[in-house]
Structure 1
Amino acid sequence: MKNVELNIPGMQSAHCQTRVSDAIKNIDGVKVEKLESTKLSASVESEEIKEELVETIKRAGYKVEGYDSEKESGSSASCCSN
């Protein structure tokens, strides 16, 4: 397993944390170590699983920072932003 630390700036409220948690909970090969305001620490089985994790978070509407692949595109707002 490989440890992954991601910054998710829009995930600040408990509601947003729950939304991200619900989005990623069914990904096989991911073990969430810590999910808190703006941060996700997890263990992933492979680089492909890491890619799936990041893409799932993006599809839930959140920008992901601290990810060493190509630059993120799409929404940078959270579900709770004005």
Structure 2
Amino acid sequence: MGKILDRILEKKEKMKSMDKYDENREKFKEVMGKPEIKISVELPEGYENRKKEFLELQKEEAFLKDVSKSIGRIVKKHLKKKKQ
């Protein structure tokens, strides 16, 4: 019984360490890396039956490239507006 408890506690400590690592990594990226904005994309209305295909898009290089180009244009447009 003691071994099981030790394993559970050990796993909890590893999870805490990973959470702390992720938090520190994000802080480092914020300070040293390029600034970034995270955007959530919801499944469009009427496409509820294509949930699996929708979720697979996040792994497709062509889709990610298209999204990056489109978002880049939108960001530039909005930043230009704010400059004026």
Q: TM-score range by the shorter chain?
A: under 0.3
Q: Which has the higher contact order (CA 8 A, sep 6+)?
A: 1
Considering fraction of residues, name the structure with more helix: 2
TM normalised by structure 2 equals: 0.27
Considering fraction of residues, name the structure with more strand: 1
Larger Rg over CA atoms: 2
TM normalised by structure 1 equals: 0.27
